[in-house]
C-alpha cells in the first residue's frame, strides 16, 4: 500500500526543516552536500506524486507539490551558495543565492497554503546584504517578436493563461519566438540580479567588483563590463534558451550566459 498523502507531505516538510538547520556557513560541508542529494530526491518524488494528483483531477494538490519542488530547489541553491563561498567562489555563490530567491518566490506563486515564506524571503534578502558587497545591476532591453504560451502552445496574447501562475502543477511561461538585444542600462532594481557589473576600470587595470581583486588584464578608463543577459532559471516567467543568443554581438552579451531553461 502506498504511503498516505498526508504522511508524504509531513515527510517532505521534515526534510525541508532539516535543510533549514543546515543553512549556515559554519555547518559541515559534507552534511550540506548530502542534503542537496536528499533534496533532489524529494523534488523527484514530488514530481512523480504530482502526476498522480493530476490523474486524480486534484489541481490544488498538484500545485502544493509544485511548491514543494520550488522549496527543495530553493534550499539546493542556498546549500550550493554556502559551498561556493567556502570554496572561495563568490561570483558563483551570488548566482546560486539569486536562484534561491527566485525559487522561493515561485513557491509563493504556486500556493498560499505554505506558511512562513515571507520570513524566509526576508532571511534570503538579509543574507544578500550581509554576505555580498552592494552590486550594480544591468537591465537589457530585448526586442521580442511573438510569444508562445508554455501551457497550451498558443500565441500568448490569444490564450487565457497568465505567465508565472500555476496550472495543474506547472507554471505558465512565455516563450519568445524571436529576440534581438536592443540596449542595456544600469538600474537599481533589475529583473534578474545575476545581470550585474562584474568588472570596472581602476587606473587602467581591470578590477573584479565582487572580490575587489585586480586582474592582470588592462582595461580602458571609464569602462565597465559584466553579465547583460542571464538565461532564465527553472521557475522563470519567460523561457530563454542558450541558442537564442547565438551569433549575437559580443558587445551586447559580454559574458557567457548562465545555463538553464524553464521546464
Question: How far is CA 102 from each of CA 36, 118, 171, 206, 221, rounded to the nearest angstrom?
Answer: 17, 13, 13, 31, 35
Q: What's the confidence (pLDDT) of residue 253? A: 46
CB 202 within 8 A of CB 217: no
Three cell numbers at 247?
551569433
Q: Residue 174 and residue 224: Cα distance in Å, rounded?
A: 31
DSSP 249: -
Nearest Cα neighbor of 140 from 243, 224, 239, 230 is 230
Average pLDDT over residues 141-165: 91
Three cell numbers at 150?
508554455
Average pLDDT over residues 10-31: 90
Domain identity same for 121 and 196: no
Domain identity same for 116 and 157: no
Binned at pLDDT 50, 70 and 90, residue 80 comes out as very high
Q: Is the predicted pLDDT of residue 137 greater than 70, yes or no?
A: yes
| Domain final residue pick, 101, 131, 161 | 131
Domain identity same for 76 and 161: no
Domain identity same for 114 and 173: no
Q: Is the predicted pLDDT of residue 3 greater than 70, yes or no?
A: no
Full-prediction pTM beyond 0.85? yes
What is the average pLDDT score of the chain? 87
Domain identity same for 154 and 105: no
Q: Is residue 107 part of a domain?
A: yes
Q: Is the predicted pLDDT of residue 4 greater than 80, yes or no?
A: no
Domain identity same for 85 and 32: yes
More confident residue, 167 or 19: 167
The strand pairing partners of 218, in sequence order, are 205
More confident residue, 161 or 181: 161
Q: Residue 225 and residue 121: Cα distance in Å, rounded?
A: 30
The pLDDT tens digits for 48-61 are 999 999 999 999 99
Residue 75 CB neighbours (<10 A): 27
| Domain final residue pick, 131, 157, 186 | 131
Q: Residue 30 and residue 36: Cα distance in Å, rounded?
A: 10
The pLDDT tens digits for 197-252 are 999 999 999 999 999 999 888 998 888 888 877 766 788 888 876 666 666 655 54
Domain identity same for 113 and 173: no
Domain span at 103: 5-131
Residue with cell 570554496: 87
Q: Is the predicted pLDDT of residue 17 greater than 90, yes or no?
A: no
| Domain final residue pick, 87, 113, 131 | 131
End-to-end CA distance of the chain: 31
Phi–psi pair at 143, nearest 5 degrees: -90, 115
| Percent of the chain residues past pLDDT 70, beyond the cut | 89
Q: Is residue 223 part of a domain?
A: yes
CB 182 within 8 A of CB 143: yes
Q: Is the predicted pLDDT of residue 261 greater than 50, yes or no?
A: no
Domain identity same for 118 and 215: no
Amino acid at each position: 500500500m502506498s504511503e498516505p498523502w498526508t504522511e508524504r507531505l509531513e515527510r517532505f516538510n521534515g526534510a525541508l526543516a532539516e535543510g533549514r538547520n543546515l543553512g549556515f556557513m559554519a555547518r559541515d560541508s559534507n552534511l550540506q552536500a548530502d542534503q542537496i542529494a536528499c533534496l533532489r530526491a524529494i523534488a523527484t518524488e514530488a514530481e512523480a506524486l504530482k502526476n498522480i494528483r493530476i490523474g486524480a483531477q486534484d489541481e490544488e494538490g498538484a500545485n502544493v507539490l509544485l511548491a514543494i519542488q520550488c522549496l527543495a530547489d530553493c534550499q539546493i541553491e542556498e546549500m550550493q551558495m554556502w559551498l561556493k563561498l567556502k570554496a572561495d567562489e563568490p561570483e558563483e555563490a551570488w548566482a546560486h543565492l539569486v536562484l534561491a530567491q527566485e525559487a522561493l518566490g515561485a513557491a509563493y506563486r504556486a500556493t498560499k497554503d505554505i506558511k512562513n515564506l515571507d520570513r524566509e524571503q526576508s532571511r534570503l534578502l538579509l543574507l544578500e546584504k550581509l554576505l555580498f558587497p552592494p552590486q550594480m545591476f544591468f537591465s537589457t532591453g530585448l526586442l521580442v517578436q511573438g510569444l508562445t504560451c508554455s501551457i497550451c502552445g498558443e500565441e500568448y496574447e490569444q490564450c487565457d493563461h497568465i505567465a508565472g501562475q500555476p496550472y495543474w502543477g506547472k507554471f505558465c511561461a512565455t516563450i519568445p519566438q524571436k529576440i534581438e538585444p536592443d540596449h542595456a542600462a544600469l538600474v537599481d532594481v533589475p529583473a534578474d540580479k545575476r545581470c550585474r557589473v562584474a568588472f570596472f576600470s581602476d587606473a587602467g587595470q581591470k578590477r573584479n567588483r565582487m572580490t575587489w581583486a585586480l586582474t592582470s588584464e588592462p582595461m580602458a578608463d571609464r569602462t565597465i563590463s559584466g553579465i547583460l543577459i542571464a538565461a532564465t532559471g527553472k521557475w522563470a516567467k519567460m523561457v530563454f534558451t542558450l541558442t537564442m543568443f547565438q551569433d549575437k554581438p559580443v558587445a551586447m552579451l559580454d559574458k557567457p550566459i548562465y545555463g538553464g531553461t524553464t521546464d
